[in-house]
Amino acid sequence: MNNTLQESNIILNVASEDKQSAIRRVGNKLVENGYVEAPYVEGMFAREESMTTYIGNGVAIPHSMPEYVQHIVKSGIVLAQYPDGVDFGNGNVAYLVIGIAGKGEEHMEVLSSIAIVCSEQENVDKLVHATTASEVIEVISQGESL
């Protein structure tokens, strides 16, 4: 997954915004960095409408519905850090919004790698308080090797 998460995919210290804007932000960054075509972002909104992508521990992982996978160019991850959080509804606040797109079989691999790293509150705390993109990559890389 290290090839998937680049410093250019990490957005630090984003001011709090609504859930739709946060999803649009990470989705548009996936488009901007060449991982997906624009329609994939619509699929991210459709996924959120059908079932929340908030996974707990202050983390949301927006991704698309299966019918939008043809818009994935290559696997990618975008991480947006929200020090003041984003309200994902039902009292769930995400401090990390991680947009993902996994090409083919890599989708579940990417999703599960991020979920494993973020299942440890200590890792989430480090990611929320990271001050550089390289710190974020280091935490995720170390978490993957657990």
Residue 73: which of 98, 120, 39, 42 has the closest Cα?
39
Which two tokens mark 50?
């059908």
- Please tell me which residue in 63, 71, 107, 129 is annotated as part of the active site: 63
Residue pair 68/42 in contact by the 8 Å Cβ criterion: yes
Q: Is 63 a catalytic residue?
A: yes
Residue pair 64/43 in contact by the 8 Å Cβ criterion: yes
Residue pair 13/41 in contact by the 8 Å Cβ criterion: no
- So which residues are the catalytic ones? 63
